[in-house]
Amino acid sequence: MNKLNLRLMRLIKSSKGQFLAIMAVIIVGLLVYTALNMAVVNLKNTVDYYYDLTNFADLYVQVVKIPAKSIKDLESKQSIVKAQGRIVYDVPLKVEDEDEKVNVRVISVPDSSENINSLYIVDGEAISNKAKDALVIEQFAKARNIKVGETIIPQIGGKQYELTVRGIVASPEFVYLMEDEQSLLPQPDKFGVIYVSDEFARQSFGLNDGHNEVLINLKSEKDIDKAKERLEEELDKFGVKRIITKEEQLSNRMISEEINQLKNSSNTVPLIFLGVAAIILAVMISRMVRNDRTSIGVLKALGYNNIQILFHYIKYSLFIGIMGSIIGTFTGMILSGYMTKMYIRFFNIPMLQVNFYYKYMFLAVLISSIFCILAGLWGGRGVLKILPAESMRPETPKVGKRILLERINIIWQRITFSWKMVIRNIFRSKKRFIFIILGIALTFSMTFLTMHQWDAFATIFNTHYGEFQRMDYNINFSKPLNDNVVKDIQHLVEAEEIEAKVEYPFEIIYGWKSEVVNIIGVKSKTKFYGFINQEGTEIELPKEGIVFSENLAKFLGVKKGDRVKIKSFIPEREDVYMEVKDIIKQSLGMNAYMDIDYMTDKLLDNELATGVYLNSKDDVKEKLGNVKNISSVQSLDDLKSIFQQFLQLSIFSIGILVIFSGVLGFAIVYNATTMSINERRLEFSSLRVMGFSKKEIYRIITKENTIMTVLGILIGMPIGRIMIRSVEEVFSNELYTLHTPISLKSYIWASALTIIFVALAQLSTLRKINKLDFMEALKSRIS
């Protein structure tokens, strides 16, 4: 081996702690890069393949009723390849526990085999007895333990039908099984989908030869918007309620959202880690070059040129980069397979398309190499400035200047000698000092961000359920009822508070943007909501106009005082224009609110209620569970337990993030401290010769580190806050608004963890001071 390379290998061996620490950072970065990127591609491919195989619909047209012939007629027109009518209704399902409310969406499937949104049979077979057979969606079957051959009893129009489960199926339409946009998380035991024959559905729902939904496949996805507009006009006579595009379809939207978030993380996280690794490397190499000044001089005297020597140091960082990236990308590749499987199981896709994309492995090595070469170049540029003749002479001592603090006599005189030394040390090597502080600050802010997110989920939940929504129970009717119903319910349960509500989906349009949301109508002085506007003051609902939740306003680009168009899904209703009177904070979900009287007056026909909110100590679930016309009784406790489950899932990912931050913090502090001890061998040796004990030297270093840790944490706080706010910006979507106050607990936890990381790194460097041979260090000028 080339002797210069041999020197490099031995150099690496002798600094393996630092080497491994930086490599760990690179490994983490590229592991995340490869795992996430491949998972994104695999997930996307699997979903696309699934959609392709099952003929996923481009458009869903919901109408009041459309005859079969009119559907057939659509097919000949322009870009429409296939149109397929079906019947879709949500009905209650009869279950053993009478108190439990379970709803199913009954969907009809045609006889032909080439369908849009065709089903994938997981277990059992297709419908054979058209009058008695049903297919059940997999998630629901699993959650409720429904097996092939069993009987399920949906209640359709007040009548109970006993159907035999012929098969368990998966559908591309319900990869993510949620009832509607307002559900925050899937509840597969409370809401399911069953498929029945077209004949059965038409008879039981009394639609004769009609359907209430049309699925459409287009020639090309580019035509979706045009087709939507045209269909809206053409099918107007059948009472178009709503047209949903593939993009807007709930399950598909949730998956795309997830894929997008993965994609965002797949590039930002690795960049942070590689950036940090590159900075540590650059600093480390620049220190190394300075320490190797004489050796570099000798190499130059021997006839090595600048490029050869510079490359010697670049190789050091390149070696770390390549090793780290190979290890990282391989583990990432393995992990991506598991990740894709996990996602696909979570999303319920009955097939898996996992491929290894060597492109990402190649890119991982390439990106890492580029970062490391740049770090090597930047760090090693000092090689060029070393003149062989000069490098043989001892370096001129640093100019000892008085620091500012020394001029302030009152303070300076009260500081003990060893503190004076510590403070001077810090101020005289500002670069090193700043590097370590920034390292600690970064560690703190990463940990802080993680701790905050953990905290934020709980905070969001507590503010939403408790401060914002203050009802114990949220009761929904199966159909709108006269608002006298409130009095009826009061007879059934002892209610402390009860109010009627109206909740309906509408399309809200502002400029070219539009969004379908539920508008909720409650009394203007409602007891069940705490509406707080953006200025932080609690408001009542205005008697006229509408109030938006913050994320809805942001999504539509609406400001207080703007007028928006509200489009109803009730056929034949004119659009209504309304002024946005205020914008309120809402951390979960996206909604608009109105005074109930104004809402029924402007948007609905008569005084109706779609449900009630109520506070009660009574056993509401039992008393109202069986009442006809009540479709669901949701209590705060139910929501809390759903949320607990969700939190448990995220403990794992939070843990991983904390470990990642720890790796980062350890690498930075360990390397910085090691470098600093190496550079200060002479200084420490002189102290030892003067009679300082090892303990006293530890104490000096500990004091320095304490000051730096405190400053690092202080600087990390604003950095962490900026990180938190930008993460909130990126990850807020229609479901969550992650704008939560940062709690003291996050500060304390993050500080404690940072101190632990710093202490661990410092402990592993103590050995180096212990081994310090001060006589040798003073005598020898061999580098």
Partner 1 sequence: MKVRDLSKHYQMGEVIVKALKDATFEINEGEFVVILGPSGSGKSTLLNILGGMDKPTKGQIYMREEEITKYDDKQLTKYRRDKIGFVFQFYNLMANLTAIENVELATEICKNPLNIDEVLENVGLGNRKNHFPSQMSGGEQQRVAIARAVAKNPLLLLCDEPTGALDYKTGISILSLLSKINKDYKKTVMVITHNAPIAKMADRVLKMRSGEIIDDYMNEKPIDPEGIEW
Chain residues binding partner 1 by CB under 8 A are 2-4, 6-7, 10-11, 14, 294-295, 297-305, 308, 387-389, 392, 781-783
CB of 304 to partner 1, least distance (A): 6
Segments in 397-429 forming alpha helices (H): 404-407, 409-412, 417-428
What is the total residue count of the chain?
783
CB of 288 to partner 1, least distance (A): 13
CB of 395 to partner 1, least distance (A): 14
CA–CA separation, 702 and 721 (whole Å): 28
Residue 302: alpha-carbon gap to chain centroid: 57
CA–CA separation, 42 and 267 (whole Å): 16
Closer residue to partner 1 (CB): 9 or 656: 9
CB of 723 to partner 1, least distance (A): 41
CB of 6 to partner 1, least distance (A): 6
CB of 385 to partner 1, least distance (A): 13
Closer residue to partner 1 (CB): 131 or 301: 301
- DSSP-derived 3-state class of residue 456: helix
Q: Any idea what the Cα angle at residue 310 is, between residues 309 and 313, rounded to 5°?
A: 95
Q: CA nearest 204: which of 290, 335, 108, 328?
A: 108
CA–CA separation, 274 and 143 (whole Å): 43
Closer residue to partner 1 (CB): 399 or 649: 399
Closer residue to partner 1 (CB): 81 or 392: 392
Closer residue to partner 1 (CB): 298 or 647: 298
CA–CA separation, 756 and 749 (whole Å): 11
CB of 16 to partner 1, least distance (A): 13
Closer residue to partner 1 (CB): 6 or 351: 6
CB of 383 to partner 1, least distance (A): 13
CB of 694 to partner 1, least distance (A): 22
CB of 677 to partner 1, least distance (A): 17
Residue with tokens 């049979």: 121
Closer residue to partner 1 (CB): 20 or 298: 298
Closer residue to partner 1 (CB): 8 or 539: 8
CB of 372 to partner 1, least distance (A): 22
Q: What are the structure tokens assigned to 265, written together?
A: 């993380």
CB of 258 to partner 1, least distance (A): 51
Closer residue to partner 1 (CB): 501 or 681: 681
CB of 776 to partner 1, least distance (A): 9
Q: What are the structure tokens assigned to 456, written together?
A: 């934020």
Closer residue to partner 1 (CB): 391 or 632: 391
Closer residue to partner 1 (CB): 404 or 782: 782
CA–CA separation, 637 and 263 (whole Å): 35
Residue with tokens 């399902």: 93
CA–CA separation, 391 and 353 (whole Å): 61
Closer residue to partner 1 (CB): 149 or 397: 397
Looking from the CA of 365 toward its CB, the CA atoms found within 13 Å total 11
Burial class (CB in 10 A: 0-12, 13-18, 19+), 775: exposed
Q: What are the structure tokens assigned to 256, written together?
A: 């795309």
CA–CA separation, 176 and 185 (whole Å): 9
Closer residue to partner 1 (CB): 7 or 527: 7
- Residue 469 per-residue DSSP state: B
Q: 668 CB contacts (<8 Å, ≥6 apart)?
A: 276, 280, 436, 439, 440, 442, 443, 761
Closer residue to partner 1 (CB): 351 or 392: 392
- Amino acid identity, residue 194? I
Closer residue to partner 1 (CB): 387 or 570: 387
Q: What are the structure tokens assigned to 51, written together?
A: 């959609």
- Amino acid identity, residue 263? K
Pairing of the two strands 163-170 and 133-137: parallel
Closer residue to partner 1 (CB): 267 or 783: 783
Give the torsion through C-alpha atoms of 301, 302, 305, 306, to 10 deg.
-50
Residue 150: alpha-carbon gap to chain centroid: 39
Q: Which strands, in side-by-side order, build the sheet including 210-218?
A: 80-86, 210-218, 59-67, 240-245
CA–CA separation, 110 and 82 (whole Å): 13
Give the torsion through C-alpha atoms of 521, 525, 526, 532, to 10 deg.
90
CB of 20 to partner 1, least distance (A): 18
CB of 283 to partner 1, least distance (A): 22
Q: What are the structure tokens assigned to 273, written together?
A: 């880690």
Segments in 85-218 forming alpha helices (H): 138-144, 198-205
Q: Which long-range contacts (CB under 8 A, 24 or more apart) does 247-253 make?
A: 248/516, 249/57, 249/60, 249/173, 250/176, 250/178, 250/180, 250/181, 251/172, 251/173, 251/174, 251/175, 251/176, 251/177, 251/178, 252/56, 252/175
Closer residue to partner 1 (CB): 11 or 377: 11
Residue with tokens 């392709």: 52
CB of 305 to partner 1, least distance (A): 5
CB of 30 to partner 1, least distance (A): 29
CA–CA separation, 710 and 281 (whole Å): 24
